[in-house]
Amino acid sequence: MMIARLQQSTRVLGKSQGYLGLPVRDVIYPDGTPGMQTCWTPTPDELEKLAKGANIIVELLGNIQDVDGRSHPPIKLSVGKIPE
């Protein structure tokens, strides 16, 4: 998956730590919970796998115990294997 830039993104996370940089849009949900939205674009190979039933895999790296809706652990998005 390729990181895409959301319209109205409010900041870029991780670039100063040596990562590619993850544009995020900060949001507040109706119940007051803070959150972040990111946008990803599948490659042509990943689109083919998805069309054949593969799942999207989300990996959060590192310690994710400090969840405050403003910080974000490194993340990796990929497409799994095509089911048999």
Task: Identify the pLDDT of residue 59.
Answer: 81
- The whole-angstrom separation of Cα 7 and Cα 25 is 8
- The whole-angstrom separation of Cα 34 and Cα 70 is 7
3-state SS string over 26-69? EEECCCCCEEEECEEECCHHHHHHHHCCCCEEEEECCCCCCCCC
Task: Identify the pLDDT of residue 60.
Answer: 75
pLDDT in tens, 5-53: 888 899 998 888 777 888 988 888 899 888 888 889 999 999 999 999 9
Task: Identify the pLDDT of residue 37.
Answer: 86
Mean pLDDT across 57-82? 71
Confidence of residue 63 (pLDDT cuts 50, 70, 90): low
User: Where do the structural domains in the chain lie, given as residue ranges?
Assistant: 2-79
